Amino acid sequence: MRVVKGMGFSRTVFFLTMGFLFLPLVVLIVYSFNSAKSMSWGGFSLVWYERLFLKERNVWNAFENSLIIAVSSAAVATCLGTLGAIGVNWYKFRFKKYVQAVAFLPLIMPEIIIGVSLLIFFAGIQMKLGLLTIFIAHTSFNLPFVFLMVLARLDEFDYSIIEASRDLGATERQTLLKVILPVSVPGIVSGFLTAVTLSLEDFVITFFVSGPGSTTLPLYVYSMIRFGVSPVINSLSVVLIAGTVLITILARNFLKYIAQK
C-alpha cells in the first residue's frame, strides 16, 4: 500500500487508545504476582494463585455452574437458531416476518430490560429462580446471535443446491442432513462459540434471574468486588484471560481446519 500522508493524527489516537484498552489488563496481570495485598509493590510472589487454586473452593463451584449453563444454553440456542435460520432463509411462510422480528429485537434491547422482564415473568408463573431460569434466560439471548450468524452463512449459498438435491431424489431429511447442515457448519460452529462466550460473560441478566445456590462466575466476582479489592481477583482474572486466549486460538484453528476441509 502506498504511503498515506496525514496519518499522524489517527496513528497517535490509535496507539493512545490501545494504551487505554490494555492498561487495565497489564495492571491486573502485573499485580497478580505482587506479594503485598495493597497496590504498592511488595515483590514477586505466587501467593494469590496458591490461594485461588487451593483455598477459594467457591470460585470453582461458580465456574462449574457457569460452564454447565454456557454449554447447555449454547447447545439449545444453536439447535433452535440454526433450524430457524434454515427455515427463514430457504422458505416463505406466514409467520416469517414475525420470526425475523422476534429474533432481532433481543439484540437491540438493553440487557437490564431482558433481565427485569424475565424476573417478573418467572415470578408470575411461580418458577423458582436457579440454574434452570438462568439457562432459559441465556438460551433466549444466545438464540438471536446464532440465528444471525447461521443466516449470514446461508446467504452465501444459492438455492440451486437444494433444488439439485431434490432433483436427484433426496427427501427433505436427506437434504437437511447431507446438504444444508454441511454447508452451514462454519456458521453453526462460530454461532455456538459466540453463544458460549456471551453466556460465560453475562452478568446483568444473570444477576436478575439467579437464585440462592446458583452463583455463576461473574456473580461470584461481583460479590468479591463488593467486599473490596482482593488480589485473588487479580489471579483469577489472569487465569481467565489465559484460558480465553487459549480457547480462542484453538477455536480459530478449528474453524480454519473446517474451512480447509
Partner 1 sequence: MAPMAVRSRPSRGPGRVRNYGPAYAGPAGIWLTVFFLAPLLVIVAYSFLEKGLYGGVEPRFSLEAYRSLFNSVFFRVSLNTLGISLATTVLAILIALPCGYYMARSNRKTFLLMLVIIPFWTNFLIRIYAWIAILGNNGFLNALLIRAGVVASPVQFLYNQVAVTVVLVYTYLPYAILPLYSTIEKFDFSLLEAARDLGCTRRGAIFRVLLPNIRAGIITAVLFVFIPTFGAYAVPLLVGGKESYMLGNFVAEELTRTRNWPLASAISMVITLVTTLGLWLMFRLQGKAPQAKDPARSGGERRAP
Between 53 and 207, CB nearer to partner 1: 207
Binding mask 35-64 for partner 1 (x = CB under 8 A): ---xxx------------------------
Between 46 and 113, CB nearer to partner 1: 113
Between 50 and 201, CB nearer to partner 1: 201
Identify residue 35 by its one-letter amino acid code: S
Are 66 and 58 a contacting pair, CB within 8 Å?
Answer: no
Cβ neighbours of residue 188 closer than 8 Å, sequence gap 6 or more: 78, 82, 146, 150, 153, 181
> Which residues within the stretch 61-80 sit at the binding site for partner 1 (CB under 8 A)?
79-80
181 is a contact residue toward partner 1 (CB under 8 A)? no
> Which residues share a beta bridge with 34?
44
> Which residues within the stretch 217-246 sit at the binding site for partner 1 (CB under 8 A)?
217-218, 221-222, 225, 229, 233-234, 236-237, 240-241, 244-245
Minimum CB separation of residue 178 from partner 1 in Å reads: 15
- The interface region with partner 1, picked from 48-56, 188-196, 213-221, 253-261 by CB under 8 A, is 213-221
> Which residues within the stretch 108-147 sit at the binding site for partner 1 (CB under 8 A)?
108-114, 116-121, 123-124, 136-137, 139-140, 143-144, 147
- The interface region with partner 1, picked from 51-59, 67-75, 87-95, 182-190 by CB under 8 A, is 87-95
Minimum CB separation of residue 124 from partner 1 in Å reads: 6
Q: Which of 47, 68, 102, 132 binds partner 1 (CB under 8 A)?
A: 102
Minimum CB separation of residue 224 from partner 1 in Å reads: 8
Size of the site for partner 1 (CB under 8 A): 96
